[in-house]
Amino acid sequence: MKSRMACGAFWRQPRDAGPVLAKRWPASLLVDTTAIEACVNSSILTSNHHSSRARNLILLIGDGMGQAHRFAGQLFAAGREGRLAMDRLPYSGQMGTMCVDPSSFVTDSAAAATAIATGVKTCNGCVAIDPMGQERATILELAKASGRSTGLISTCQITDATPAAFAAHVPMRAAQSEIARQYIERARVDVILGGGAVHWYPDGQPLPPQLCWDAPWVGAGKEGDLVARAGFNCKVGTDASYNEAKLRMEDLEQLVRGGSVSPPAANPDAKWDKIADRPPLMLRLETAQKEHLGPAMANAGAFRKSADAVLREAELIAAIGEVIGQEGFEFADDETYLGYAHQMRDAAREIVGAIKSNDYDTARAASGKLEKACNECHEGYRS
C-alpha cells in the first residue's frame, strides 16, 4: 500500500470542512464514503514552541515512501541504531493517505497526494477532487491566495499526479496537458521545474533540440503550445501594470468616498497587448456567450425580452474579436487564429444589426456562426 509521510508542519481539517471551489467534475469513481480527516499524532505541533516564524515552507515528498522505505534507508546509510537526518528533526507526525475505495488495497499517487495537499481523502486517479467530484482547495492555492510565491519541482514528469495534486484539479491523472494548462493559467505557479516536456507542446510538434538528449521527440499535448503560453503570461503582471492598478484602486476609493477623479490622458501610441491580457478577455467572452447570448437565442420571446443585454454583449464580443487579433497578442501572427477571431467579430456584428432590426432568425443564425468559430478556436488555442 502506497503512503506518504513528510516531516515539518502538519495541519488538520475537520470532516466536511475546508475551502471548496465551486467547479464540479465527474469523479472517476463515486463512492458513498465520507472524506476522512487528515490527523496528526503529536499534540506538540499545536503549541507555539518557538517565538519566531518561518518565512518559507518547502514540502519534500518521497514518492511512494513509507515507514519500511525509511527504515531500509536507515539500515543502508546509518545502520541499525543510526538515525537519518529526517529523524533528527524536532517534530514528527504521520498521516494516513489510503484511498476511499473500499474495494482497493492499493493507493496511487493521485489519491495520496490529494490527501496531503487538501486534507481530504479521495479515489485513485483523482487529482485534488473529492469522492463526490468536487474540487478541493490545496495548500499551494491557499499560499498563492495569501500573496506568497509558489513552486513545484519534481525529478519525474512535473505533471505527474504527485505535484499535480497541489496545483490542478482533474478527474483522471492521465490528463497531463490539462494539468500543465492549469499550472500556468489557474494556479499561476511561479516556478515549475521537472520533466515531461512532451505534454507542454502540441501533438506532433518537434521538441527543441536542447530538450532531446538521445533522439528527436515530438509533443503529445492536447492544449496547444503551453510553453509559449507560459512565456506570454510572464509578460503581464509587471511593475508598470502593478503601479497602474494601484492608481486605479486609489481612484475607486475616491469615488466610493463621494469624490471625483480625472481620467488619464489618452495615449495614441498605446498598444492593446499592453492594455489587456488575452486570458481574461477569453473568460469574459465565454461569460457573454453562455450567460447572455445562449439563453437569449432560445426563442423569439427571450430574444426580444433581453434585446438590450444581448446588444451590449454582442458589441463587446465584436470588440474582443478585433482586439485579440492586434499585434503583440498571443497567436496574433497565426493566420488560422486570426481567421477565427475575425469570424467571431463578424458574427457578433451580424447579431448587433439583427437586434437593431428586430430580426430573431438572423440573430440566431449569426449566434450559431459565433459559437462554431469559438469552439473551433478553443480546440487549438485554448486559454
DSSP 186-222: II--SEEEEE-GGGGSBTTPBPPGGG-SSS--B--BS
As given in the structure block, the three cell numbers for residue 184 are: 500556468
Residue length of the chain:
383
Q: Are 100 and 36 in contact (CB under 8 A)?
A: yes
Helix, coil or strand: residue 122: coil
Which one of 42, 47, 52, 109 is the catalytic residue?
109
CA distance 224 to 199: 9
For residue 183, what is the DSSP state? Answer: I
Sign of the dihedral through C-alpha 62, 66, 69, 70: positive
**Rounded-to-integer distance, Cα 175 and Cα 152, Å:** 18
Burial class (CB in 10 A: 0-12, 13-18, 19+), 114: buried
Cβ burial, residue 149 (10 Å; 0-12/13-18/19+): exposed
Cβ neighbours of residue 191 closer than 8 Å, sequence gap 6 or more? 149, 150, 151, 152, 153
Grid cell digits, residue 272 = 492593446
Spatial contact of 161 and 173, defined as CB atoms under 8 Å apart = yes
**Rounded to 5 degrees, what angle do the CA atoms 51, 57, 63 make?**
135
Pull the grid cell for residue 193. Answer: 521545474
Chain centre distance of CA 272: 25
241 is a catalytic site residue = no
- Among all residues, which ones are annotated catalytic? 109
